[in-house]
Structure 1
Amino acid sequence: MSHAVVVGVDGSAQSAAAAEWAAYQAHLSGRALRLIHVGARPEFSVEAADPAELLPRPVLALRDRIVEVLPGLRVSCEHVPGSPAEALVAAGDRGGLLVLGSRGIGGLAGLLLGSVALRAAAHAACPVVLIRSGTDGRGDVHGGVVVGVDSSRPCAEVLAFAFERATERGAVLRALESRELPTGGYATDAPVDPPEITSALAAAAQVRLEDTLAPWRKKFPEVRVAAEVTGWPAGKALVEASRSASLVVVGRRIPRGRPAVPGLGAVAHAVLHHPHGPVAVVPHD
């Protein structure tokens, strides 16, 4: 299924939450949902005529529950042998979306701390959404979408993804940019006081951010946008914003000429390790 929402499932409660979030996202965007179970092929099922026999019962029960709740959703469920990280990265095509839970069973514990999910977020060709353990499957559907922005190097892929998700949810999009601003306690020969300099720099940064968002506001006129410049470090600001957001969106730069080297930057890395809700990592040039 081209451009589907793909979710890794293993029978755990965490992957079930990820599957519920993915099903809701597929429903909102009109895409199909692919449930992928990765692992060794069970010896007793080598001759199985029905591929469903390769899947754990909790996974099949999860599929049936999703079909019951969202009867119009196209849902497929399959077993894929091999390494979880490699198989899931391969399953997510460039136009699709890959969703993973914060932890799995067995050796997949602590995904947000650097295992399968972290590797998938660093290598997948498509956006990857990581669902924090304990998060409701749909996330906070009443919260807004938050996107980290750098007005000096705006990323079209990241902004497009964020605006599209806000459109689907009818949510406010909070565009958050981090800028280091002077806070006083320094000498200056300027004919104004330091607080006035700080205020002027903050105002200029706000104008640059608004200019960056202007063409996107025009393209998505239905989206309510709140542009905010903060003096906090970007990672800290986005983690704090995730407390009330339905989704936080960050970018991942794809290294040119070095495809084997992950491009997960410091900001994305920080947000993935300390989120309070779902986080989307969007690859961009």
Structure 2
Amino acid sequence: MSHAVVVGVDGSAQSAAAAEWAAYQAYRNGRALRLVHVGAQPEFSVEAADPAELLPRPVLALRDQIVTVLPGLKVSCEHVPGSPADALVAAGEREGLLVLGSRGIGGLAGLLLGSVALRVAAHAACPVVLVGTGTDGQGGVNGDVVVGVDSSRPCAELLAFAFERAAERGAVLRALESREFPTGRYVTAAPVDPPEITSALAAAAQVRLQDTLAPWRKKFPEVRVEAEVTGWPAGKALVEASRSASLVVVGRRSPRIRSAAPGLGAVAHAVLHHTHGPVAVVPHD
């Protein structure tokens, strides 16, 4: 893929962490890195000959640091006037991958829990990755890639993104599916205790999950996959898994009706608000 990896920057520590994650992502994929600073057009520099005059010094320092650490990486840096959410969504639509800090200052304040991040994650046509300051060095390569799966409605875009990230990192892919198993008494023709029925239902769910992952195992034979069916709610299971993950991948279903407004589901909301590491929100049909 030749598109650049786009990252929103504002001079904060959080956006610097996002830029580091994005830089190593771009470097691993042989793509360029595009740093985008969004905000009002400074009056004193409307006619600036040098675009760098529109950028805060911390943003320029961040660009220079990335170029020093990854000298082979092509890096561009620009100021874009306008609404942060709208400008970032537009940039992501052009490029194909958008990375944001979990919390920022100025125009990107409170990203993880604020309206800007939620709007971008809900509206962007490309995957959006939210990164916090706790991410380890090298762009978060230590730990598993975790993906939430629904084997009753498997999503090709979601699984492709998760397997690709695991392959490029050499990481284990943990596929988690949440299933609620009844705990009450069952009326059956045979004398079967409830625990045995619950165990059989869990085993059947595990088989369905393995069948869902089978084509992707063949496509990515280098990726070691761990499949798990849990009785926990999906959001809780993914948040807990994020403690040791390099990336958690969740889906966002696109509206089937063009006039309908995009939105994040309950699981994505829970993970974004409580995660312990980077989260990728992948739009899909």
Q: After TM superposition, is the score higher than 0.5?
A: yes
Q: CA deviation at 1:221?
A: 0.5
How much identity, in percent, do the aligned residues show? 88
The 1-side partners of 2:159 and 2:68 are apart by 34
| Cα shift readout 1:27-65 (whole Å, capped 9, x = no counterpart) | 111111100000111111112111111111100000000
Counterpart secondary structure, 1:227: strand
* 2:36 counterpart residue number: 36
The 1-side partners of 2:94 and 2:141 are apart by 26
CA contact (8 A) 1:18 1:137 kept: no
CA contact (8 A) 2:10 2:106 kept: no
Q: Which amino acid aligns with 1:236?
A: K
* 2:153 counterpart residue number: 153
* 1:237 counterpart residue number: 237
Residue 167 of structure 2 corresponds to residue 201 of structure 1: no
The 2-side partners of 1:254 and 1:105 are apart by 29
For structure 2, which runs of at least 5 residues remain unmatched after alignment? none
* 2:103 counterpart residue number: 103
Q: CA deviation at 1:113?
A: 1.2
Residue 284 of structure 2 corresponds to residue 258 of structure 1: no
Q: CA deviation at 1:19?
A: 0.3
Q: CA deviation at 1:192?
A: 1.0
CA contact (8 A) 1:139 1:277 kept: no
The 1-side partners of 2:107 and 2:89 are apart by 18
CA contact (8 A) 2:6 2:95 kept: no
Going from structure 1 to structure 2, the CA distance change for 1:232 and 1:125 (only over 3 Å counts) comes to same
| Cα shift readout 1:106-151 (whole Å, capped 9, x = no counterpart) | 3533211132111100000000000124434645422010000000
Q: Which amino acid aligns with 2:233?
A: P
The 1-side partners of 2:137 and 2:114 are apart by 22
* 2:226 counterpart residue number: 226
CA contact (8 A) 1:14 1:103 kept: yes
Going from structure 1 to structure 2, the CA distance change for 1:96 and 1:107 (only over 3 Å counts) comes to closer
Task: Tell me how large the CA RMSD over aligned residues is.
Answer: 1.6
Report how many residues are paired. Answer: 284
Counterpart secondary structure, 1:177: strand
CA contact (8 A) 1:67 1:73 kept: yes
- The aligned runs of 1:58-207 (5 Å cut-off) are 58-93=58-93, 96-106=96-106, 108-136=108-136, 138=138, 140-183=140-183, 185-189=184-188, 190-207=190-207
Q: Which amino acid aligns with 2:166?
A: A
The 2-side partners of 1:281 and 1:206 are apart by 24
Please give the TM-score of this superposition, normalised by the length of structure 1.
Answer: 0.95
Please give the TM-score of this superposition, normalised by the length of structure 2.
Answer: 0.95
Q: Which amino acid aligns with 2:105?
A: I
For structure 1, which runs of at least 5 residues remain unmatched after alignment? none
